[in-house]
C-alpha cells in the first residue's frame, strides 16, 4: 500500500477543509511548491493535488500552481478538482501531470469518462466522494441518488485506471477512516482503490493495510497537523516498521 500526501489548493494556497466545507478552511502554507518539495524529501512516491476552487466552481483557478508543482518535483502527480471537459484534461497532461481525477463530471457525464479513458488509457481515475453511501458532487455540496459502490462498478467498466474513494463525513476530522466502506469498495472492484478521509495516526494506516486489495491511502490534515509522520507512515505501509 502506498501513502499519498495531499495538497489542496485554494486561492493559490495550500489548505485543508473540514468535511469539504468551503467556509471551514485552514491555510497551512502560502507556498504549495515548497510543501510539495517537502513531501518528496520525506519519501513521497506520488502526490495528490486538488484544485478546490475548481471543484466548487467547475473552473480551475490554480493552474499556474499546478504547473509550478509539476516543474519542481520529479515524482508522479495526480490532479483533480474542476476537470469538466476534454480540453482541460489535455492541458493538464501537456504540463506533464501523470494522472487526472474526474469527479463531478463522472457522475453527470459518464460517457466523457469513457472517451477520456480511451484516449488516455491508464491515466484517468474516478474520484468518488460519498456521504452515507451516496455520491456527492460539485465540491461535495450536492448529494446525488447514485450509490457509491454501484457507480464505482460503472466507472470500472468505463475503463478508469482506479478509484479514489473519499468518505466525506471523515474527511479532515482526524477521526479514523471508514474501514467497512473502504473494504467494501476494494473487495468489489478489480481496479486499484485509493482510500481518502479520516486518517489521523499510524494505527489508521495499519487498519487500512488489513484491506488486501487497497492500493493506497491519501492523507492531508494528519500530515499538516503533525499527528502523522510521513516517513513513519511510508515505512509502516511497506512493512519496514
Catalytic residue among 8, 51, 53, 204: 8
Buried residues in 49-63 as b, exposed as e (16+ CB within 10 A):
bbbbbbbbebebbbb
Name the percent of the chain lying above pLDDT 90.
73
Annotated catalytic residue, options 31, 74, 98, 129: 129
Tens-digit pLDDT profile for residues 188-223: 999 999 999 889 999 999 999 999 889 999 999 899
Instruction: Find all residues with CB under 8 Å of 180, minimum gap 6, and list them.
Output: none
pLDDT at residue 58, as a whole number = 75
The residues facing 142 across adjacent strands are 137
Please tell me the class of the 2-237 domain: alpha beta
Within 10 angstroms of residue 224's Cβ, the number of other Cβ atoms is 20
Say what the alpha-carbon torsion angle 4, 85, 129, 193 is, to the nearest 10 degrees. -50
Please tell me the pTM assigned to this model: 0.92
Q: Which single residue is written with the C-alpha cell 499546478?
A: 66
- Size of the chain, expressed as the number of residues it contains: 241
Q: Give, for 116, the enclosing helix (H) or strand (E).
A: helix 110-119
Known catalytic residue: 129?
Answer: yes
Please report, rounded to a whole number, the percentage of residues in the chain having pLDDT higher than 70: 93
Which residue is listed with cell 488509457? Answer: 121
Amino acid at each position: 500500500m502506498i501513502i499519498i500526501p495531499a495538497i489542496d489548493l485554494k486561492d493559490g494556497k495550500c489548505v485543508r477543509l473540514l468535511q469539504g466545507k468551503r467556509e471551514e478552511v485552514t491555510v497551512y502554507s502560502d507556498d504549495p511548491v515548497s510543501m510539495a518539495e517537502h513531501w518528496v524529501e520525506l519519501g513521497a512516491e506520488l502526490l495528490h493535488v486538488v484544485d478546490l476552487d475548481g471543484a466548487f466552481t467547475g473552473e480551475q483557478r490554480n493552474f499556474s500552481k499546478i504547473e509550478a508543482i509539476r516543474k519542481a518535483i520529479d515524482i508522479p502527480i495526480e490532479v483533480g478538482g474542476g476537470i469538466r471537459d476534454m480540453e482541460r484534461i489535455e492541458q493538464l497532461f501537456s504540463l506533464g501531470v501523470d494522472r487526472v481525477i474526474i469527479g463531478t463530471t463522472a457522475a453527470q457525464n459518464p460517457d466523457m469518462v469513457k472517451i477520456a479513458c480511451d484516449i488516455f488509457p491508464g491515466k484517468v481515475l474516478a474520484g468518488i466522494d460519498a456521504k452515507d453511501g451516496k455520491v456527492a458532487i460539485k465540491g461535495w455540496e450536492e448529494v446525488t441518488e447514485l450509490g457509491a459502490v454501484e457507480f464505482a462498478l460503472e466507472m470500472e467498466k468505463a475503463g478508469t485506471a482506479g478509484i479514489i474513494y473519499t468518505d466525506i463525513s471523515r474527511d479532515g476530522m482526524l477521526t479514523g477512516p471508514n474501514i467497512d466502506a473502504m473494504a467494501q469498495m476494494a473487495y468489489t472492484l478489480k481496479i486499484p482503490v485509493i482510500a481518502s478521509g479520516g486518517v489521523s495516526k499510524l494505527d489508521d494506516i495499519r487498519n487500512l493495510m488489513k484491506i488486501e486489495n487497497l492500493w493506497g491511502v491519501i492523507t492531508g490534515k494528519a500530515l499538516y497537523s503533525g499527528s502523522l509522520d510521513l516517513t513513519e507512515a511510508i515505512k509502516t505501509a511497506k512493512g519496514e516498521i
